[in-house]
């Protein structure tokens, strides 16, 4: 009997299927020419990282554009780092960002005939392949302990040699099979390694869809393919899964580029056709003058949670990420004003090679653009939904009077050049809280209402009294309303012609701007607000009068 077969049967007695059986079980996909099968393969070790969102955006976009399939595979082979519940949350967040897989692990269910889509459920598949590799002599059990390997690395480092388990240092690769069999029978712990036939003296040519033709050092490491816990390592799972799931374009972070030769060698050794690869740049951040990867621990923007809880419209993050992915997307937006990602043709070759610095300013720019284009119904509903989850104070505000909330958000909206005050829903409340009667009372008591220095108490009082006794809100048109402001201002001595005022400022107590500032500060507590006419309209005659009286009262009693 073949010795290899004996060893294989000893390690995997329960496996009687072959690779051929698997091929039949997972036949090629029936897709049109050029259709791309891509995937997102997250590990359930935490919440969705911004970089992962970026990768999956690209993967799903490519699949969609080409009429292919985008699926999700859960890489849960690292049982030590696994965080309970994070896999399901990952899917929910992906969905919130509008990334909807066609197939795969979907959190609560699995869709598709190429499953299971969860690596921990695919043990038999890996074992089937490894069994055959052992029979063919391209995989073997290795009994080296952690200490053995540490010692080896030390020695290699001292000799300035390449570290790792390869060539003459791969001490168990040529172990006599009978010995291996007896070790296993004794219960010695072991892993399964791939027997590499490469040499680091050789170079291989590979093609990357983003980076073009590359020359990499051939792999010669006998890497671990099956850990002692019986689960596969990433490298091996990648080969099996992407082969049997018929991925034809692997998109992943550039940190995988150095291990590409390992993957290529294994695909070849197994006689599998290797997929195409696109190694995406990672998103960076400037830290003390150095670029580094966005870190979940240090940077709030590294986690997708941050954008959701701040109330960024998911689309705006997506648009921003797309401008990083394909900078010509910006030109496209400028030309078309179209923020719908579906209409843009993405191109891998237009992707830049080094990681972009995450730019919050630019994100905010797009975020404001997008929010400004919503009509009052849409933005109010979305803000309301966001508030329900993240902002109790906004929710209180909204629920007092929803229609009024809509009108407030509608100030200078629904027109050609709408206001762009808000980048995210969390920006809303601080800007609008003065509308609330109780909140205004609080502001009035606690905050300083500062007027322009040149406005004396007498001027303010005089203007306020005159103005509040005019029919200040009996106007439909803003122009007429402003005419009234001007008329009162003129009467109390303000200049109502800015050119005249500029020419001779000392001849007047102030100009219309100053008059408006009196109203603005009195009504809102702030020197900077949206359109006064709209504010007064929403506050209503009674409340405006009340606030005027509050101020008059205060000034008179000082």
Partner RNA sequence: GCUCUGUUGGAGAAGUGGCUUAACUCAUUGCCCUCUCAAGGCAACAUUCACCGGUUCGAAUCCGGUACAGAGUACCA
What distances in angstroms separate CA 438 from CA 299, 330, 468, one per listed residue?
A: 37, 44, 22
- DSSP 8-state symbol, 283: P
Name the minimum Å distance from CB 31 to RNA: 26
Q: How many residues are there in the chain?
A: 558
Between residues 97 and 165, which has the closer beta carbon with respect to RNA?
165
CB of 546 to RNA, least distance (A): 20
Question: Which of 88, 162, 171, 181 lies at the binding interface for RNA (CB under 7 A)?
Answer: 162
Task: State both tokens at 558.
Answer: 């000082």
Please tell me what DSSP assigns to residue 143.
-
Q: Which residues 6+ apart lie within 8 Å of 278 measured at CB? A: 58, 208, 209, 210, 249, 250, 251, 252, 348, 351
Are 204 and 264 in contact by the 8 Å Cβ rule? The answer is yes
By CB under 7 A, tell whether 355 contacts RNA.
yes
Is 145 a residue that touches RNA (CB under 7 A)? yes
Which of 125, 134, 282, 539 is close enough to bind RNA by CB under 7 A? 282
**Choice between 9 and 484, CB closer to RNA:** 484
Alpha helices, H only, 67-167 = 86-96, 123-136, 146-158
Dihedrals phi, psi of 315, to nearest 5 degrees: -60, -35
Residues 290-329 touching RNA, rule: CB under 7 A, are 290-293, 323-324, 327-328
**Cβ nearer to RNA, comparing 164 with 167:** 164
Cβ of residue 391: shortest distance to RNA, in angstroms?
21
DSSP secondary structure code for residue 93 in this structure: H
Task: Select from 27, 67, 258, 505 the one that contacts RNA (CB under 7 A).
Answer: 258
Would you call the peptide bond into 116 cis, given omega within 30 degrees of 0 as the criterion?
A: yes
Strand, coil or helix: 421: coil
Interaction residues for RNA, span 182-241 (CB under 7 A): 189-191, 200, 203, 211-212, 214-217, 224, 227-229, 231, 233-234
Q: Which of residues 436-495 bind RNA (CB under 7 A)?
A: 478, 482
Q: Which of residues 357-386 bind RNA (CB under 7 A)?
A: 357, 359, 361-362, 365, 368
Q: Is 160 in the site for RNA (CB under 7 A)?
A: yes
What tokens appear for 146 in the block? Answer: 């952690």
Instruction: Report the site for RNA in 500-529 (rule: CB under 7 A).
Output: 512-513, 516-517, 520, 527-529
Answer for the pair 44, 87: CB distance below 8 angstroms, yes or no.
yes
Window 50-89: contact mask with RNA (x via CB under 7 A): -------------------------x-xx--x--------
Binding to RNA, residues 412-431 (CB under 7 A)? 412, 417-421
Q: How far apart are CA 485 and CA 470, in angstroms?
A: 9
Task: Please tell me the count of residues contacting RNA according to CB under 7 A.
Answer: 89
């Amino acid at each position: 009997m073949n010795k290899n077969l004996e060893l294989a049967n000893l390690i995997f007695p329960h496996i009687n299927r072959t690779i051929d059986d698997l091929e039949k079980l997972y036949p090629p996909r029936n897709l049109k020419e050029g259709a791309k099968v891509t995937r997102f393969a997250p590990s359930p070790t935490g919440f969705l990282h911004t970089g992962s969102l970026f990768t999956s955006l690209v993967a799903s976009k490519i699949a969609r554009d080409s009429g292919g399939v985008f699926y999700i595979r859960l890489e849960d082979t690292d049982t030590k780092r696994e965080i309970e519940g994070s896999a399901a949350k990952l899917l929910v967040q992906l969905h919130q960002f509008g990334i909807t897989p066609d197939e795969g692990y979907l959190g609560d269910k699995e869709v598709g005939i190429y499953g299971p889509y969860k690596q921990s459920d695919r043990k038999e598949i890996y074992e089937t392949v490894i069994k055959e590799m052992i029979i063919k002599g391209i995989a073997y059990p290795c009994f080296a302990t952690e200490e053995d390997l540490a010692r080896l690395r030390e020695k290699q480092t001292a000799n300035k040699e390449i570290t790792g388990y390869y060539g003459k240092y791969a001490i168990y690769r040529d172990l006599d099979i009978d010995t291996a069999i007896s070790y296993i029978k004794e219960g010695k712990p072991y892993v399964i390694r791939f027997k590499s036939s490469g040499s680091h003296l050789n170079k291989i040519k590979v093609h990357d869809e983003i980076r073009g033709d590359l020359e990499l050092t051939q792999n010669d490491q006998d890497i671990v393919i099956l850990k002692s816990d019986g689960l596969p390592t990433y490298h091996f799972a990648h080969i099996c899964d992407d082969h049997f799931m018929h991925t034809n374009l692997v998109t992943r972070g550039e940190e995988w580029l150095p291990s590409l030769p390992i993957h290529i060698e294994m695909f070849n050794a197994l006689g599998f056709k290797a997929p195409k690869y696109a190694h995406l740049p990672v998103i960076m951040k400037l830290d003390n003058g150095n670029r580094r990867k966005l870190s979940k621990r240090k940077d709030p923007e590294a986690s997708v949670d941050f954008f959701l809880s701040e109330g960024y419209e998911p689309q705006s993050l997506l648009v921003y990420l797309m401008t990083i992915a394909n900078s010509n997307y910006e030109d496209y937006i400028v030309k078309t004003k179209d923020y719908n990602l579906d209409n843009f043709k993405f191109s891998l070759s237009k992707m830049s090679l080094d990681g972009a610095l995450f730019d919050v300013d630019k994100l905010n720019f797009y975020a404001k653009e997008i929010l400004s284009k919503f009509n009052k119904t849409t933005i109010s509903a979305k803000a309301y939904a966001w508030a329900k989850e993240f902002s109790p104070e906004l929710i209180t505000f909204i629920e007092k009077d929803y229609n009024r909330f809509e009108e407030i958000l509608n100030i200078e909206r629904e027109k050609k050049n709408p206001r762009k005050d808000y980048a995210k829903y969390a920006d809303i409340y601080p800007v609008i809280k003065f509308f609330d009667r109780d909140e205004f009372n609080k502001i009035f008591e606690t905050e300083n209402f500062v007027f322009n220095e040149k406005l004396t108490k007498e001027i303010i009082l005089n203007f306020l009294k005159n103005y509040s006794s005019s029919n200040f809100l009996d106007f439909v048109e803003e122009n007429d309303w402003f005419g009234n402001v001007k008329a009162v201002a003129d009467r109390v001595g303000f200049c109502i012609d800015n050119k005249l005022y500029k020419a001779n400022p000392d001849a007047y107590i102030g100009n219309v701007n100053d008059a408006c500032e009196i109203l603005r500060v009195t009504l809102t507590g702030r020197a900077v607000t949206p359109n006064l006419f709209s504010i007064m309209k929403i506050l209503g005659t009674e409340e405006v009068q009340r606030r005027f009286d509050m101020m008059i009262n205060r000034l008179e009693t000082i």
